[in-house]
Structure 1
Amino acid sequence: PAFVTAILKDEQPTVYGDGKQSRDFTYVDNVVEANLLAAKAKKTCGEVINIACGQAVTVNETIDTINGLAGRNIKPIYTAPRPGDVKHSLADITLAKKTIGYEPKVLFPEGLQKAIGWYRENLL
């Protein structure tokens, strides 16, 4: 959210580190779908199940994608990494696929497009 709002306001987003750290972002619709699937599944009680897209995206790629979708070209401000930040995070969604039949329906670019639209309509 911070990157989207900054770029939509023509402000430079702050990146802690070099931007090469990666995350596995997912759109809220995927989480809702997974919760509904888990509620109906018979063998999920007590299980910890990762819900994500199973796709690593760097912070720099995220900012580039936001810029492209928003029609901007705003460069981030890079600052020192925060202590304890994880360099790479990629969820293993194998158990979600196997036990509840989960497949992410909204992948990163589409989810970001939807989020940008929502932010434009509701927060700016």
Structure 2
Amino acid sequence: MTPDPESPYALSKYYTEKLAIQFSDLYDINTVALRYFNVFGPGQDPNGEYAAVIPKFVQLMLDGDRPTIYGDGEQSRDFTFVDNVIQANIQAAEGSATGVAVNVGCGGQVTINELVGHINDILGTDIEPIHDSPRPGDVRHSHADLKSAREEIEYEPKVDFQEGLERTVSYFKNA
């Protein structure tokens, strides 16, 4: 898709990516911009205003609390387990690609309602979320097209969403 940043945060990411590519073009410095899609995994901080949704929901649900979903919960994300991100970083650093931007995700989509269902399944619970007003500027759907990542850095996610979520829940249960 043609980039069209809709928030100051998204715009800052876009311009940083453009700078990296420009450095490659102008100064013969090898750069690859990696676009991470909703990274999650063991060790993430579940607290705070900017905590990622998965650790936040897992911790709340482990404590028997109801997670809050902003909007109807049908917004979707391409959740990416941290091991895949590490793999992409290594492949980008060791490969020959330069002056490109690639998506790092799993190539799938999970709605926030489905996420709560998956966590309930893993925990053996039946916790209903609380729905609140949508947040302004939230992207409705996010999905990583992995075609360029496959071609440029030979990236293929090794850990799918379900396995990554199971590992993450296990970490928080035992933390």
Same fold (TM over 0.5): yes
Distance 1:13 1:68 in 2: 15
1:14 partnered with 2:68: yes
Find the partner of 1:94 among 147, 150, 153.
147
SS of residue paired to 2:64:
coil
Structure 1 residue 115: Cα displacement: 0.4
Distance 2:101 2:63 in 1: 38
Find the partner of 2:162 among 109, 112, 116.
109
Q: Which of structure 1's runs of 4+ aligned residues deviate more than 6 A?
A: none
Question: What per-residue deviation string (whole Å, max 9, x for no partner) do you get for residues 52-71 of structure 1?
Answer: 00001100111000000011
Structure 1 residue 113: Cα displacement: 0.2
Structure 1 residue 103: Cα displacement: 0.7
SS of residue paired to 1:66:
helix
Q: In structure 2, what residue type is equivalent to 1:42?
A: S
Structure 1 residue 46: Cα displacement: 2.8
Distance 1:89 1:115 in 2: 21
Question: What per-residue deviation string (whole Å, max 9, x for no partner) do you get for residues 96-118 of structure 1?
Answer: 11111111111111000000011
Distance 2:81 2:63 in 1: 22
Task: Tell me what 1:85 maps to.
Answer: 138
Distance 1:121 1:36 in 2: 29
Q: In structure 2, what residue type is equivalent to 1:39?
A: A
Structure 1 residue 119: Cα displacement: 1.1
Larger RCO, structure (CA 8 Å, separation 6 or more): 1
Identity of aligned residues (%): 49
- Aligned-residue Cα RMSD (Å) equals 0.8
What TM-score comes out, normalization by structure 2 length? Answer: 0.67
Distance 2:131 2:89 in 1: 36
Structure 1 residue 2: Cα displacement: 1.1
Q: In structure 1, what residue type is equivalent to 2:167?
A: K
Q: In structure 2, what residue type is equivalent to 1:9?
A: D
Structure 1 residue 47: Cα displacement: 1.8
In proportion to residue count, which structure has more strand? 2
Which entry has the higher C-alpha Rg, 1 or 2? 2
